[in-house]
Structure 1
Amino acid sequence: MTPTHLPGRVAIPSLPEQTLTPPSPNALETFNSTTPEEAQHLLLACLRSLRWARRVADHRPYPTMDALLAASDEAAYDLPPGDLTEALAGETTAVLPAGTYSAAHMALDAANAAYEAKFGHVFVICLDDSPTEEALDHILEGIRSRLTNDPEEERVVAAEELRRLARGRLGELLGGAGNGATSHNGTAPGT
């Protein structure tokens, strides 16, 4: 079975660096004018939490991209445990770029397995500030470091990483603003 991947920043940036592109006002206007269902569907591609998607969609129209991103952040901060579990279940394990040496795959697989065994969900990390060539090191370091967390502490950290991922994905989806993060094709839940 092939795992589906969320669009946007899913842990491993692609190798070529992309330049930042300012958000398109037309994309925001289009988002503001879509039906609530279409907006929710679009938002679920960024974070697979129905509560988050509904809350962000229900507060449209947004005058600026910054206002939309602030609303996304606020909605993500307020996710109750069940919705956080739903969002984490929608994430997938990081995929290494083609050509990555096999020892890296083994190390990442082992670290992910230990993490999932302890916390019951995939490891999520936003690498927006990490150089592409250091992504694997940051992921492995993050997993090892976070394995020392207790489950409640890790849920707080994972929730913050999901918030950052959703913000980056939303920026890419509506504005094309990216930092070289891998985009994957997948469908939102319930579609």
Structure 2
Amino acid sequence: MPAQAARHWHPKGLAGFNAAPHALAESLLLRCCGSRRWAERVAAHRPYPTLDALLAAADEAGYDLSGADLDEALSRETAALPHPDAPPAARTALRAAHAAYESGFGHAFVISLDGVPAGERLDRVLFGIRSRLGNEREEERAVAAEELRRLARTRLTRSVAGG
């Protein structure tokens, strides 16, 4: 499969993920969390009997990220954009908040919005950035690592289960 197609491949359920060639599974996993070591580790432990087992393995691999692994994963994250229908003032506020965060911490702001209604997401992101700007660097790395683990779970669930 060409590299371009691999970047957009989605398995047909857990069975498809388990049966996929190693490189293809890693490609999908890297879209969930940008750490190569994380993706290699999760892919290497296939097959998974259930989605819950896959998510548990992803969590465990996430907790074991080294500082360099976390840096790699965070470097591959991008700032979330507001919905195109968001008011211009909200878009400006979000851009400014993201810029302040990235300037202070050296990576994109990450937050899991799983379960947050669409109409509340912009406010949640703005609140999250503003509240976390006061964190010390190491405290924020721990918060960002936890948010990254939560994001990876959501992305992996959507990619594998189609949910």
Give yes or no for TM over 0.5.
Answer: yes
Question: Is it true that 1:169 corresponds to 2:150 in the alignment?
Answer: no
Distance 2:84 2:130 in 1: 24
- Write out the 4+ residue segments of structure 1 that deviate beyond 4 Å after TM superposition: none
1:76 deviates by 0.7
Distance 2:141 2:98 in 1: 16
Distance 2:50 2:115 in 1: 23
- TM-score, normalisation: structure 2: 0.91
How far does the alpha carbon of each residue in 1:70-122 deviate from its partner, in whole angstroms, 9 at most, with x for none? 00011011101111011011111111111211100110011111111110001
Equivalent position of 1:157 in the other structure:
143
Distance 1:70 1:99 in 2: 37
How far does the alpha carbon of each residue in 1:119-178 deviate from its partner, in whole angstroms, 9 at most, with x for none? 00010000112111111110011001101110000000000000000000000001112x
Distance 2:148 2:95 in 1: 21
Equivalent position of 1:98 in the other structure:
84
Which residue of 100, 104, 119 maps to 2:105?
A: 119
Aligned length: 155
Which residue of 41, 52, 56 maps to 2:42?
A: 56
Question: Is it true that 1:142 corresponds to 2:134 in the alignment?
Answer: no
Structure with a larger share of its residues in helix:
2
Distance 1:99 1:28 in 2: 35
Distance 1:106 1:98 in 2: 12
Distance 2:115 2:133 in 1: 22
Distance 2:31 2:57 in 1: 16
> AA paired with 1:88?
L
* Backbone CA RMSD of aligned residues: 1.5
Q: Is the 8 A contact 2:13 2:162 kept in 1?
A: no
Equivalent position of 1:36 in the other structure:
22
Comparing both chains, which one has the higher relative contact order based on Cα–Cα distances under 8 Å and sequence gaps of 6 or more? Answer: 1
1:55 deviates by 0.4
Equivalent position of 1:86 in the other structure:
72
> AA paired with 1:78?
D
Secondary structure of the 1:148 match is: coil
Q: Is the 8 A contact 2:42 2:61 kept in 1?
A: yes
- TM-score, normalisation: structure 1: 0.78
Distance 1:113 1:65 in 2: 36
Any unmatched runs of 5+ in structure 2?
1-6
